[in-house]
Amino acid sequence: MTGLMTDARPVREAENRLEKFNNDRERLLAEVERRVMARRISEARTGGDASLEYVLNDVAYCEIRRLEAAGGNGVDRWRELSRRLLGMTDDDKREELRALVRYYGKDVVGNFDPRVYKFATGIGPSLLGFLFSPTASLRDAGTTLRNLDAHIHADGNLELARACAERGTIVVTPTHSSNMDSPVIGLGLLLAHLPPTTYGAGKNLFTNPFISFFMRNLGAYRVDRRLKFELYKDVLKEYSTVLLEHGYHSLFFPGGTRSRSNMVEKSLKLGLLGTTVTAYKNSVREGAPNKRIYIVPATINYRLVLEAETLIDDYLAETGKSRYIITDDEFSRVGRIVEFFRKILVHEGSVVVRFGRPLDVFGNDITDEGESIDRAGRIVDPASYVRGADGEVTDDDQRDAEYTRALGRRLSAAYPALTVLHSTHLVARALYDAIAANAGTRDIYRLIRAPLGHLEVPIDTVIEHLVRLRARLAENPSWGAEHPLYTDQSATQKVEDAVKGLSTYHTHPIVDRSGQSTLQVKDVKLLYYYQNRTAHIPPESSEQRS
Amino acid sequence: MTSATRADTVGIVGAGTFGTALASVLARAGRRVIIWSRDVSVVEAIQATRRCPRLPAAVLPEPLEATVNPRRLASEARFLVLAVSSKDVRNRSRELGEVIDGSHIVVHAIGALAAPVARVAGDLRPAGAELVNERVSEVMLAGMPTLKVGVLAGPALPADLAEGNYSSMVVASRFDEVVAEARRLLNAPPALRVYGSKDLIGVELASALSGAYTVALGLADGLGMTTGPRAVLVTRAVAEASRLGAAAGAEAKTFAGLAGLGNLLVRASGDRSPDYLLGRRLADGIVTADGGRTEGARAAITGVELAKSLRIRMPVLQGLAAVLTGKVEPREAAQMVGDTVAVEE
């Protein structure tokens, strides 16, 4: 594509701005501290919930509760603060607040080690190659790893995303299925010749030493979801805002946590995504309205998901919301990570990272030149969204939150079309449709209790369902697409390929052959999990079935 | 033009009866108002006589101005009221979209769904395609760059506004700023009081559905329904509209407020509403099923489709739609509705 913003030269690979991050780090932290302090002290003048006493008490109360529930280690420091609070002068409170803001800032802040980046993008792939091929020698690993892109496939609107990364700051917003998403999207960016991004990763992920090492040194900052008090959220959001203002490309998972059901996310939590509006507004205020921020929707599409068993159990137990952080799942076991590489990634194209057309922070589409356009296709000045009647930038948190919700609606509308369906998803859907027809219900709770006879499906029937599903998918690009490397597979090949994957990776086979001509569903829950990737595709009408 | 004046100016799109009446109330309260009309003769008449030919009863004192130039409207007012017919809303939104930006606030005062358009996947299709019914705010968002849109609705009749009689309306938007600005700029007590709501979907649906129920009340009156059953009909209408609204993402209470019950009571109280008159004619057997469709009639048919998709039973609306589509006779529908109501509550 030509004419992408930088007319004079084709965009091959955007600059890696993270290389200067370590030099910037203290300055960024100081800026976070300055802003949070200024805001808190200003708000404290209104008293009530905004008073410094209340803010500090909120921190102490939340920390005491959290630490007591976890066994009590470290709780004394907060009890002591709680006791001192009533006798503190205003100056004392300000100093305590400053110390806390600095502490949480340092806890959050990331790192970027160019040596680790070079390793991860150079030698690292060789290591990964070895892991992909359990029978290979280390000497062979290099060869395998030069084919990294055969295992992880990155495609989509890459040139425009690269152009946006050169012109402004990009925020990659992928769907979230697995704890492997962070390293996988990192490799996806590399393969797409997009620059590395900084990203907020759950602190629980840092418990895995292998992943932790890379995350710590590749721009990840830590998000401790156990800390519920406003001051921590304030520091975290301000850090993200400052990073964006300073041009650091970022990555957020707008779904918040991993999709428990494996459905493509519809209702997004947005979280840090709101900092994009704030960062852009601040740039406009500083006289830099052309310092654009672009949101790049992306989907991460796995043939098989590492933690599928834990996730679907959690979803079906309807505890997904309360058990916000699952720590005792497959991800915390190093052996399972190795299995992931050897059994999941070994398959060619086993993960597809698909990047969509970027949006502006208000959810508007953009032209190839990076200009915002409204829904009628007119170029619109994005700075106008944050200006008042007199042309000055105005602060309005509710307005900005609404803009972020609008952006979230655009993202959730974009995801289905960017979904890449592997054989495992398509065949799981075909099988699910077939057993649902046998049992007369699509309700998962009834199907779990269905008699074995209902879970047996002739392969010919699966193929019939699959053929119709593929035809419907081809007619409706808004539902997503088949894996680009396997569109030529026949229905029979697709079934064989899927059964191979679904019967070998997880602890128990999801589906198995029963004789020559029948498939037996062994694990309805996991079948449901994989078919859920197609849940946005409506069931067939009776006319379509006939 | 100073920036403060721009912030304090109300721009009105359309010089129809409601737009003119609203302009009159605001101008008489000292608010700066600018009306955009595409009709040169109307603009000239307003400037020359301080009256609009479409509502001569309304006085339009200075500093009210009228213009045929939408750019002037957009540059002199950030807060705009779209007061055109539902048939005109798509074109006007697009025209307005050419001259406004993301900072503008636009609320519409159209108590109906937008006139349907045939389209497939975002492209207009000339004929034979399925008609798409949308709320007016959806049409506005598709045609304008600003996201700050809202709706102004309620039982404020142009005649009452023009005469300065006590009127109330509700403004709803997802944006607090839109509600706050609408209340600041449109409140003109005692003639007009504006309440606020965040329930954009609810106010739009309630306002549109009240048109449908106005047809039903016209029909009931035409069939000679007495006061008691009529009251039952009104309360059942509000109840089922609330159920539909709640299922569509609105707040149930909105349908018992100004935009719902308030609108219904005022529209069905006289003989000036086209919806009410359609109901009377249906009862008299004058209008065939396909003829004489009003905005209320269209809202009834759309509402039934929406109810079907959301699996909500709406006996009154379904009965009305059955009459409008020629499936049952008016008396038969009234009997069916009465029977259903009797068993449901």
**Same-domain status, B211 and B184:** no
Tens of pLDDT, residue by residue over B69-127, are: 999 999 999 999 999 998 899 999 999 999 999 999 999 999 888 877 765 444 443 44
User: Which residue among B198, B226, B249 closes a domain?
Assistant: B198
ipTM value of the model? 0.88
Q: Smallest CA–CA separation between A396 and chain B, in Å?
A: 8
User: Which residue among B179, B198, B217 closes a domain?
Assistant: B198
**Same-domain status, B150 and B228:** no
Q: Smallest CA–CA separation between B179 and chain A, in Å?
A: 11
Asked if residues A234 and A105 have their Cβ atoms less than 8 Å apart, the reply is no
Supply the pTM of this predicted model.
0.88
Q: Count interface pairs A-B at CB distance under 8 A.
A: 65
**Same-domain status, B133 and B249:** no
**Same-domain status, B261 and B179:** no
From chain A, the residues in CB contact with B137 under 8 A are none
The nearest alpha carbon in chain B to A476 belongs to B121
CB atoms within 10 A of CB B289: 14
**Same-domain status, B42 and B86:** yes
How many domains in chain B? 2
Grade residue B305 by pLDDT with cuts at 50, 70 and 90.
Answer: confident
**Same-domain status, B81 and B183:** yes
From chain A, the residues in CB contact with B146 under 8 A are 385
Tens of pLDDT, residue by residue over A273-309, are: 999 999 999 999 999 998 999 999 999 999 999 889 8
The nearest alpha carbon in chain B to A478 belongs to B121
CB–CB contact B6 A375 (8 Å): no
CB–CB contact A381 B101 (8 Å): yes
pLDDT at A62: 95
Reported residue count of chain A is 546
**Measured between CB atoms, does A377 come within 8 Å of chain B?**
no
Q: Smallest CA–CA separation between A401 and chain B, in Å?
A: 9
Residue B220 is part of a domain; what is its CATH number?
1.10.1040.10
Residue of B98, B141, B147 with shortest CB distance to A403: B147
Residue ranges of alpha helices (H) inside chain B are 3-7, 17-28, 40-49, 70-76, 89-97, 136-143, 158-163, 176-186, 200-222, 227-247, 263-267, 274-284, 295-310, 315-324, 330-344
Tens of pLDDT, residue by residue over B229-277, are: 999 999 999 999 999 999 999 999 999 999 999 999 999 987 778 899 9
The nearest alpha carbon in chain A to B77 belongs to A389
pLDDT at B278: 92
User: Which residue among B165, B182, B198 closes a domain?
Assistant: B198
Question: Vertex A97, ends A95 and A100: CA angle to 5°?
Answer: 110
The nearest alpha carbon in chain A to B78 belongs to A389
Q: Smallest CA–CA separation between B314 and chain A, in Å?
A: 25
pLDDT at B292: 60
CB–CB contact B147 A391 (8 Å): no
The nearest alpha carbon in chain B to A365 belongs to B145
CB–CB contact B3 A375 (8 Å): no
Residue of A375, A385, A398 with shortest CB distance to B102: A385
**Same-domain status, B160 and B230:** no
The nearest alpha carbon in chain B to A379 belongs to B145
The alpha carbon dihedral of A94, A96, A102, A104 has a sign of negative
pLDDT at B13: 98
Q: Smallest CA–CA separation between B172 and chain A, in Å?
A: 14
**Same-domain status, B183 and B89:** yes
What is the rounded radius of gyration, in angstroms, for the C-alpha atoms of chain B? 20
Asked if residues A362 and B147 have their Cβ atoms less than 8 Å apart, the reply is yes
Which domain, by its residues, includes B220? 201-344
CB–CB contact A402 B98 (8 Å): no
CB–CB contact A402 B141 (8 Å): no
**Same-domain status, B213 and B294:** yes
Residue of B4, B6, B175 with shortest CB distance to A402: B175
